[in-house]
Amino acid sequence: MSKIARRKFIQLSAVAAAGCFVAPARQSQAGELPRLSPDDAMAAAMKYTEDASTVDPATRNNPAEVQDCANCALVQGNDGDAWRPCQIFPGKVVAAAGWCSVWAPKA
C-alpha cells in the first residue's frame, strides 16, 4: 500500500469510526423522546406531576424547600430545556417544572 493510499485509508477509517459514535447520541436527544404522562402506571406510582407547585410540601419525603425535576439529581439533558430525560423513566422526557416522589437533591 502506498503512503497516499494508506493515509486515505486511515482518514476514511477515522470518519467511519466517528459516525459510529455520532449516530447513537443523535437518537437519544431529548427532543425526539415522548413526554411522560402523569397517567402512566409507573409515573402515577411515583406521584409524578408536570407542575411541582401543585405538590403539598408536607407530603414530600425530602424536606428540601425547592423541588422540581430541573434541580433533581436524577434528571439528565441540558439545563434550561423544558423537557428532559430522567434516569427513573428511560425512553421518556419529564417536565423540568415537574416533580415525583423519587426527587433527590443534586450533590
Amino acid at residue number 8: K
Candidates 56, 97, 96, 57; CA nearest to 76 is 96
Nearer to ligand SF4, 33 or 99 (CB): 99
Which helix H or strand E contains 84, and what residues bound it?
A: strand 83-85
> From CA 71, how far away is CA 97, in angstroms rounded?
9
Stretch that binds ligand SF4, among 2-10, 12-20, 56-64, 98-106 (CB under 6 A): 98-106
83 binds ligand SF4 (CB under 6 A): no
- Residues 48-77, interacting with ligand SF4 (CB under 6 A): 48, 69, 72, 74-75
Q: Which residues of this chain interact with ligand SF4, rule CB under 6 A? A: 48, 69, 72, 74-75, 86, 88, 94, 98-100, 102-103
